[in-house]
Amino acid sequence: MWRCTLVHESFMLFIAIMTIVDLSKTLISLMVEAQQRCGTSDVITGETVKGWVELYQELVNCCDKVAVCFGCQYIFSLTCTIVHYVNVVYNFIYFNVFKTLEFDDNFKLWFLMIGYVMIMSLPIVATQMASNQWVRCQRVIARLHNNMIDDVNTAERKMIKDFIRVIKKHPLQIRFMSKVPVGIFLLPAILTAVVNHVIILLQFNHVV
């Protein structure tokens, strides 16, 4: 039962983050469209830039709200997952490899476990996608700023420059653990933690 609850929470978190990713793609598409019109008869107005800033600030607020709503639950579920799989891997090695005894050789069980790990990893992948959209947003707005280099004294160009500062100061990142952003880099860190703890348990029992 508790495993189903953790899976449901992870899936809901994944949906929430992917919504932010999708909205950020929409914002970036608006800026790309404006960049393509730059230099033509169409002019980028101050209202347009102000709308971009408001949309971006709403996305940043959404990231903060998601972290507040799901942060503690996801950290708890991730910790439970790591402990559970350290125990599973240890028992599999201890009984199957070294003791030549059967231990959960049911294919269905291992299939469910792998699927559970994949679902728990979805929010980490989604947070990395949000960070990638933030980097892309920086590139697009910087390119647009460079395209307006001829309009040195325009208020719109100054507003875009201020927008660049806002983007750099407030990244699109989900921070579950204090000020540490969550990203794909956590997956190898989690794998390393599992392997290290399994080795320690095997050493304590004089298996290796």
**Confidence (pLDDT) at 78:** 80
Biggest CA-to-CA distance, the chain:
78
Look up residue 154 and give its two tokens. 């325009």
The pTM of the full predicted model, rounded to 2 decimals, is: 0.80
- Position 152 pLDDT exceeds 70: no
Segment 45-49 shows an average pLDDT of 82
Picking from 139, 121, 142, the residue whose alpha carbon sits closest to that of residue 185 is: 121
Picking from 123, 166, 184, 136, the residue whose alpha carbon sits closest to that of residue 26 is: 136
Segment 162-185 shows an average pLDDT of 82
| b/e per residue 110-130 (b: at least 16 CB within 10 A) | eeeeeebeebbbbbbbbbbbb
Segment 135-160 shows an average pLDDT of 78
Segment 102-131 shows an average pLDDT of 74
